[in-house]
Amino acid sequence: MRPNENNQAGFTLVETLVALFILAMVSSAGAALLIGATTANQQIQQQEAAARQLDIAQSLIRQDIAAMSRRGIRPADGFSPSGNLFGEAPRGEEPFLRFVRNGWLNPGLIEPRSNFQSVQYVLRNGDVVREASLRPDATNGTPVSSRILLNNVETIEIGFVRGGERSTFWRSDSGAELGTLPEFVELTFVFEDTTRFTIEALSGGRQ
């Protein structure tokens, strides 16, 4: 007797729909896990990039302040008084910190320049920018190297300490002795998300 061909094993419509539903649920769960892992990885990369940015910024700022020199800055206009340190809370896009640093290496005097370099820090559109001139007595045509150190900065608090006294403003005359430079400089960067980042650095005037 031949088996009835209409009785061959197979999936019913209900079983097929149930299987498709289970497959869709598993796929959705897998997609959610994949998206979560990708998002977490992006967050980790962003945090690592932010940490590297903070580390580079504080390293450069500390090195500059530690190499601070009492050599004066001759203004480009030729009329304004010279000085060796200008610092105060940011006002517009004016530099909030400006001075001459020593120790810009020039082995064998390969380049036609000295070891001194004029450095200034500016808060511009939320970015903290380091600007270094090729020569300490810069003119309008002197090449300037600019580098953005920090982003999304709302404001900056600055302090100068000398002999136990603290000031939020500093302007030194280049003809004065080394004692007119601060021993210690403190910079607090307040970000747009209210996070605060403080850099404390001993200066070249601490001797």
Q: What gap in Å lies between CA 141 and CA 159, rounded to an integer?
A: 32
CA angle 45, 48, 54 (to 5 degrees): 140
Residues 6+ apart with CB under 8 A from 83: 72, 73, 171, 172, 173, 174
Is 0.85 topped by the overall pTM? no
Contact, 158 vs 167, CB < 8 A? no
Secondary structure of residue 122 in the 3-state scheme: strand
Query: Can you name the residues that pair with 118 across neighbouring β-strands?
Result: 100
Q: Which of 3, 173, 169 is nearest to 91 (CA)?
A: 169
Contact, 158 vs 85, CB < 8 A? no
Q: Which of 110, 109, 104, 160 is nearest to 134 (CA)?
A: 104
Residues 6+ apart with CB under 8 A from 95: 86, 120, 121, 122, 131
Sign, CA torsion 27/29/31/33: negative
**What would the pLDDT profile of 91-103 be if each residue is shown by its tens digit?**
888 899 998 888 6
**Both tokens of residue 73?**
């800055």
**What would the pLDDT profile of 10-42 be if each residue is shown by its tens digit?**
667 777 777 777 877 777 777 777 777 677 777
Residues 6+ apart with CB under 8 A from 147: 60, 129, 130
Residue percentage of the chain with pLDDT more than 70: 76
**What would the pLDDT profile of 127-182 be if each residue is shown by its tens digit?**
999 998 877 776 677 778 899 999 999 999 999 998 888 999 988 765 555 457 88
Determine the pLDDT at residue 178: 44
Mean pLDDT is lowest, of 48-52, 55-59, 88-92, for 48-52
CA angle 202, 203, 205 (to 5 degrees): 130
Question: Do the strands 170-173 and 184-191 form a parallel or antiparallel pair, or are they unpaired?
Answer: unpaired
Determine the pLDDT at residue 1: 47
Distance (Å) of CA 19 to CA 14, 22, 29, 84, 110: 9, 5, 15, 79, 76
